[in-house]
A and B are shown apart, each in its own frame.
Chain A
Amino acid sequence: MIAVLGLIAGVVAGLLVRPEVPAVVVPYLPIAVVAALDAVFGGLRAMLDGIFDDKVFVVSFLSNVVVAALIVFLGDQLGVGAQLSTGVVVVLGIRIFSNAAAIRRHVFRA
């Protein structure tokens, strides 16, 4: 419950406070958000599976974000930033979908 409240609080804070994002981070923010979403869905699935572990969640969340940002950064350096971003988003999207399917099976029994 507190976790859900944290998410809501984050969204509200982002909308209200309107913080200034440093220019260095701007290109990596969207991909990092997608990666974090993937981690969150994974965590939710793990919780429903009953194997949720906060340490694992924290590590997976942070490493997801860092690796995604790193890939984009590397892609930018190599000149294929847009393509790599697309690739990362596709992979993460597939994972999110599969996680969502597992969650759905748990919640709706279907």
Chain B
Amino acid sequence: MSSEEPAAQEETGGSEPAEQLTGRQRLLKGLWPPRVSRAQLIVALLLFVLGLGLAIQVRSNSESSALRGARQEDLVRILDELDNRTQRLEDEKQRLSGQRTELENSSDQAEEARKQTAEKERQLGVLAGTVAAQGPGITLTISDAAGAVEADALLDAIQELRAAGAEAIQINDVRVVAGTYLADGDDGVRVDGRKISAPYRFKVIGKPEDIEPALKIPGGVVQTLQKEQATVSVAREDKIVVDALRRANRPDYARSSSP
């Protein structure tokens, strides 16, 4: 085409009025029939590049979101908003996970507290005599044929047992606790208002190695009782069951002051 056109240009330039449709004719001539020339190939190459760029641009414009066409300031603003939003969500996440940890901890703590409370209840139940107890200990049997053993002697025995580390005591079928009192009645000894009669059988849970010597020391409980013509026997046992119970009485006035 190029090789011809300067000539054609001159030609048309020469006879412009004669050929009114030269432009259109040239266009048609260029379009058909197709001729392979250097100019055609170079132009085709450049147009190929143009078409490629056009298509890529159109495509990337249409396929991407509004962000691609956005201006820099808008992008900065959008980025800022996203950052803020991320920050907010991050904060919220932190708060919620903190809450979760707290809840987990508190439920753990509640469980732990419940366990400890139950454990304490058992321990206190042993002390208060509301639950049965078992463990190593001794039995102390006082046979009082002469009827000479009175409440104070039994109280001495109980004190001695306590001092020696007895943890649970029962006399016959009465549990001995902190508030237990002994009294001499008309017909015998009363423990917490319940009459008990000889032989007095003490079931004691505690360390036998401590309790037995404590009872048997010279001038101690055993000797004192024996002076009063009572027969006293002390036996260590591996398993003592203290199963006499007391009712748990709710105090009328005293309330726990600890939270």
Q: Which residues of A contact B (CB under 8 A)?
A: 1-15, 18-19, 21, 26, 29-30, 32-33, 36-37, 39-40, 43, 47-55, 57-58, 61, 82, 106-107, 109
Contact = CB atoms under 8 A, between A and B. Distances in A.
Contacts, number: 145
Interface in B14-56: 20-24, 26-27, 30-36, 38-56
8 contacts: A10-B47, A10-B54, A14-B56, A47-B1, A50-B8, A54-B43, A82-B71, A107-B24
Given A7-B47, A61-B46, A14 B59 contact: yes
B107 interface: no
B5 A47 contact: yes
A1 B184 CA distance: 136
A7 B57 contact: no
B51 to A, nearest CB: 2
Interface of A is mostly: helix
A19 B23 CA distance: 37
Contacts of B57: 29-30, 33
Contacts of A9: 48, 51
A106 B26 CA distance: 10
A14 B23 contact: no
A8 B12 contact: no
Nearest to A37: B50
Contacts of A48: 23-24, 26-27
Contacts of A10: 47-55
A6 B54 contact: no
Most buried by A among B5, B21, B32, B48: B48
Contact of B51 (A8, A30, A53): A8
Contacts of B52: 10-11, 13-14, 19
Contact of B31 (A1, A12, A106): A1
B45 A6 contact: yes
Contacts of A109: 20-21, 24
Most buried by A among B6, B23, B34, B60: B23
Contacts of B43: 2-3, 6, 43, 54, 57
B63 to A, nearest CB: 9
B48 A49 contact: no
Contacts of B38: 54
B40 A3 contact: yes
B5 A51 contact: yes
Contacts of A5: 34, 44
Given A2-B41, A15-B59, A106-B23, A50 B5 contact: yes
B258 interface: no
Contact of A6 (B12, B21, B44): B44
A26 B42 CA distance: 25
B9 interface: yes
B93 to A, nearest CB: 33
Nearest to A102: B23
Contacts of A107: 23-24, 27
B26 to A, nearest CB: 6
B257 interface: no
A82 B59 CA distance: 21
Interface string B210-221: 000000000000
Nearest to A28: B53
